[in-house]
Structures are given as C-alpha cells and as structure tokens.
C-alpha cells in the first residue's frame, strides 16, 4: 500500500524533462522554461558518468541530444562538460550543457520547483546510480519543499530508494500495466504507478486507484487525450508542453 498519505499532492501537470517541446530536454534551460510557462513541477532523468558523477540525461548514448558520440557510461564528467546539449534542438540554445544533478537541484531550489527524479541507470549500474543520486538529493533537497518523488523502471533502484530515503514517495514506472504490477508496487512500497499513456486503459486506472495508488501517465501533449485521461481518474500527466495542458488542469 502507499506509504504517504495526503497532503502530499503533486500538481496535475508535470513538465517532462523540463519544458522539452520548447527547450532542449533535461537542461537548465528546459527547467527555467517550464517555470516560465507556469509549471510547478518538473520531471528529469538521472544517470552516472564514467567517473560516477550523477548527471541529468535521458539516453544511454550521446548522439541524439549532444554533439558528442559514444556511451554516457564511458564518458567522464570533464569530457561531458565539453559537449553542446542545445544546438541539436535549436541553434538558439547553442552552448547549453548537460547539467549535473547538483546544478539541477540548485536551480530547482532557487526557482521553487517541485520534482520527480527518475533514476534511469545505464545498463548494469542500477544500484550505484540510485545510491549516488539519492545521496546527492538527500543532501540538497530543501526541507521546506514538497517531498521529492522518486521513480524508476529499475526495481533495484527503487529498492535502494526505499532503503535510503523512506521519507520520499516512490513511483513505480511501467510501460503498460503488467499482471504483476501490484506485487511490484508493494515491493517498492510505491505511492504512485506511472504508466505509458498510449498503453493505459480506463480499467487500468480504476484498478490502480482502487488499490490505493496514484496514477501518473507519460507523455501527453494533446489536450484532448489529457482531458480523456483526467476523466478516467488519473492524478498527473507528464508533458513536454505544460503551456498546453496547464489551462485545462487549472495549474
Ligand atoms: O517518468 C516518466 C517518463 O519520463 C518515463 O519515460 O523515457 O521519458 O524517461 P522516459
Ligand atoms: Mg523520464
């Protein structure tokens, strides 16, 4: 069963990788942009560099979102700092960097943004990614801020989160709702279940809500689809376009 009762309550709209339709994903620019557009929470992904430093980055490889090449897990933080993480999105963002977790948490604290920190380990680095990410977050997350929601597709990472930060709610990340989702949610002592919006069905929402968990869905940019999902009773949406969904959700 969920371990955290209300009043913990993330807003219904969370900016996915920051406002990633209008700024390069998982950069400080994307988080600033999310706040400018009115988002109160952002989601971001945490991985480790070759030298074990936590950075905010989605892919296992560098090509899609930087001007570098190769595997993040084989790239040192110093080498990563030489890469441009903005031009691929738009030349206006030339010079944007892959932020460290520390830089990201600093910015969120300055801007008063809440967050869902997704632990997204590179293959084979589940436990160390969770340990390092949570260690940094525990040291930096403001006590007065709403609790940090920690999610992961990685069950070992969620286990570490439960052990190291039992005070923070956990989100079980799934594609579609699996037959054994309930056992997995219980094992993680999850607060919420996060499901792919293209795979979720109305009866899945009812099943999860009836079991006492919150339901969050990713990634929805279409207002019609969002309205439909809210009608089904979901609690939150991760979106690349908070400016489109916020007016529907009232914040
Ligand atoms: O946490 C929700 C969503 O971000 C999960 O998928 O691939 O966008 O990290 P992905
Ligand atoms: Mg993510």
pLDDT single digits (tens) 38-63: 999 999 999 999 999 999 999 999 99
Contact yes or no for 171/190 (Cβ under 8 A): yes
Determine the average pLDDT of the residues in 213-236: 97
Q: Compute, in angstroms, the gap from residue 227 CA to the centroid of ligand 2.
A: 22
Structure confidence at residue 7 (pLDDT): 65
Q: What is the distance between the alpha carbons of residues 105 and 116, in angstroms, rounded to a whole number?
A: 11
Contact yes or no for 202/217 (Cβ under 8 A): no
Q: What is the distance between the alpha carbons of residues 11 and 237, in angstroms, rounded to a whole number?
A: 9
Q: What is the distance between the alpha carbons of residues 155 and 33, in angstroms, rounded to a whole number?
A: 31
Structure confidence at residue 52 (pLDDT): 98
pLDDT in tens, 140-193: 999 999 999 999 999 999 999 999 999 999 999 999 999 999 999 999 999 999
Q: Which domains does the chain have, with CATH numbers?
A: 13-245 (3.20.20.190)
The conformation of residue 100, written as its DSSP 8-state character, comes to B
Residue 1 predicted with pLDDT over 80: no
Is the beta carbon of 218 within 6 A of some atom in ligand 1?
A: yes
The secondary structure element, H or E, covering residue 210 is helix 202-210
The H helix count followed by the E strand count for the chain is 9, 9
Average pLDDT of the chain is 96
Beta strands 13-16 and 236-239: pairing type? parallel
Q: Compute, in angstroms, the gap from residue 96 CA to the centroid of ligand 2.
A: 19
> Among the options 4, 12, 16, 117, which is catalytic?
16
Residue 3 predicted with pLDDT over 80: no
Structure confidence at residue 250 (pLDDT): 73
Determine the average pLDDT of the residues in 213-227: 97
Q: What is the distance between the alpha carbons of residues 217 and 38, in angstroms, rounded to a whole number?
A: 19
Locate 10 and state its tokens.
């993330």
Locate 119 and state its tokens.
């632990």
- The question of whether 16 is a catalytic residue gets the answer yes
Residue 2 predicted with pLDDT over 80: no
Task: Give the closest residue to 177 by CA, choosing from 157, 152, 197.
Answer: 197
CA-proximal residue: ligand 1, atom 1 (nearest): 118
Contact yes or no for 10/4 (Cβ under 8 A): no
Residue 227 predicted with pLDDT over 90: yes
Radius of gyration of the chain (CA): 17
Q: What is the distance between the alpha carbons of residues 235 and 214, in angstroms, rounded to a whole number?
A: 6
Residues forming a β-bridge with 115: 42
Q: What is the distance between the alpha carbons of residues 37 and 39, in angstroms, rounded to a whole number?
A: 6
pTM beyond 0.75, yes or no: yes
- Give the residue with greater pLDDT, 211 vs 7: 211
In degrees to the nearest 10, what's the CA dihedral of 76, 158, 152, 131?
-20
Residue that the structure tokens 């480790």 belong to: 48
Which ligand has its closest atom nearest to the C-alpha of 240?
1
Ligand 1 mutation target, pool 14, 15, 16, 18, most atoms within 8 A of CB:
16
Contact yes or no for 223/244 (Cβ under 8 A): yes
Determine the average pLDDT of the residues in 66-85: 98
């Amino acid at each position: 069963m969920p371990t955290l009762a209300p009043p913990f309550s993330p807003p219904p709209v969370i900016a996915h990788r920051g406002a990633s339709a209008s700024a390069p994903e998982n950069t400080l620019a994307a988080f600033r942009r999310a706040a400018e557009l009115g988002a109160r929470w952002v989601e971001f992904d945490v991985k480790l560099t070759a030298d074990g430093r936590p950075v905010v980055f989605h892919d296992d490889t560098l090509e899609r979102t930087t001007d570098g090449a190769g595997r993040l897990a084989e790239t040192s933080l110093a080498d990563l700092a030489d890469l441009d993480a903005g031009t691929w999105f738009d030349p206006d963002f030339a010079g944007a960097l892959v932020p460290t977790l520390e830089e990201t948490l600093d910015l969120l604290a300055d801007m008063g943004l809440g967050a869902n920190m997704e632990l997204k380990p590179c293959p084979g680095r589940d436990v160390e990614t969770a340990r390092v990410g949570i260690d940094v977050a525990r040291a930096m997350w403001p006590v007065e801020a709403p609790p940090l929601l920690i999610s992961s597709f990685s069950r070992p990472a969620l286990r570490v989160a439960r052990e190291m930060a039992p005070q923070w709610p956990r989100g079980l990340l799934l594609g579609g709702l699996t037959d054994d989702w309930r056992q997995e949610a219980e094992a993680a002592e999850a607060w919420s279940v996060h499901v792919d919006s293209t795979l979720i069905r109305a009866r899945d929402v009812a099943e999860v809500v009836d079991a006492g968990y919150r339901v969050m869905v990713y990634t929805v940019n279409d207002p019609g689809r969002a309205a439909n999902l809210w009608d089904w009773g979901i609690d939150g949406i991760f979106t690349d376009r908070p400016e489109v969904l916020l007016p529907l959700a009232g914040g």
